[in-house]
Amino acid sequence: MIGMQDAAWGLLDGMNDAGLAVSLTFGGRFVHGPGFAVLVVLRYLLETCTTVDEAVGRLKSLPVAIPQNVTLVDPERAVTVFVGPDISLTEAPDACAANHQHMPVPDEQERFSRTQERLSAVRAAGADVAAMLKPPLYQFAYDEGLGTVYTARYRPSEGRVTYYWPGEAWDQSFGDFAPGSRTVTLGQAG
């Protein structure tokens, strides 16, 4: 598995050698309940599932402690699902996510996060990585907890991923994996 590790053994996103890729986006609601940390759930999905359908099936039976949007991609299908302690797994209208799960987004949340604006921008950008590295998609509001850490472009059918920061990219693949780390100064345009 290739992925961005967080909290010792959880994953922010990743891909397995079967061609399944997963990523998460905070669901935008401050609700807490019993369940697993989604970082552990993503790792579990990559360790035990080979397809989007299999992973969605597993997610239906796993309680998640806070609202999260999980995007799953394999060579045949891409889907975003909403999960949380107070909702059943719900499939999003498309395989795109920002920091909300329900419409309409409360005015205060939209002013703070610009989540609907960013969802429209990500839909318009498609696979254009350059657009992902500019506002409104690339956020610099680190002091408010809204800063972008990186952008990842997974190509599960090729077993490849590229991580992007303004001015820097890091390619990895199952065929040519190079363990390592990067030091990136956040909050600065490339």
Number of alpha helices (DSSP H) and beta strands (DSSP E) in the chain: 5, 11
The whole-number pLDDT of residue 7 equals: 74
Residue with tokens 């001015």: 167
pLDDT in tens, 16-41: 999 999 999 888 888 999 999 999 99
pLDDT tier for residue 146 given thresholds of 50, 70 and 90 = confident
Q: How many CB atoms lie within 10 A of CB 87?
A: 15
The whole-number pLDDT of residue 190 equals: 55
Residue 100 clears pLDDT 90, i.e. is over it: no
Selecting from 3.60.60.10, 3.40.50.970, 3.30.450.20, 3.40.50.80, what CATH number does the domain 2-173 have? 3.60.60.10
Length of the chain: 190
The whole-number average pLDDT for the span 118-141 is: 89
Q: How many CB atoms lie within 10 A of CB 139?
A: 17
Distances (CA, A) of 100 to 27, 110, 118, 141: 5, 9, 11, 18
Q: Are 72 and 89 in contact (CB under 8 A)?
A: no
Whether the model clears a pTM of 0.95, i.e. scores above it, the answer is no
Query: Can you say how many angstroms the Cα of residue 6 is from the centroid of all Cα atoms in its chain?
Result: 13
Q: Are 110 and 98 in contact (CB under 8 A)?
A: no
Q: Are 63 and 86 in contact (CB under 8 A)?
A: no
Residue 188 clears pLDDT 70, i.e. is over it: no
Boundaries of every domain in the chain: 2-173
Q: Which two tokens stand for residue 70?
A: 């999980």
pLDDT tier for residue 189 given thresholds of 50, 70 and 90 = low
| Mean pLDDT of the chain, nearest integer | 91
**Four-residue CA torsion sign, 84, 59, 41, 131:** negative
Q: How many CB atoms lie within 10 A of CB 121?
A: 18
Distances (CA, A) of 132 to 1, 84, 139: 24, 26, 10
Beta partners for residue 171, in sequence order = 162
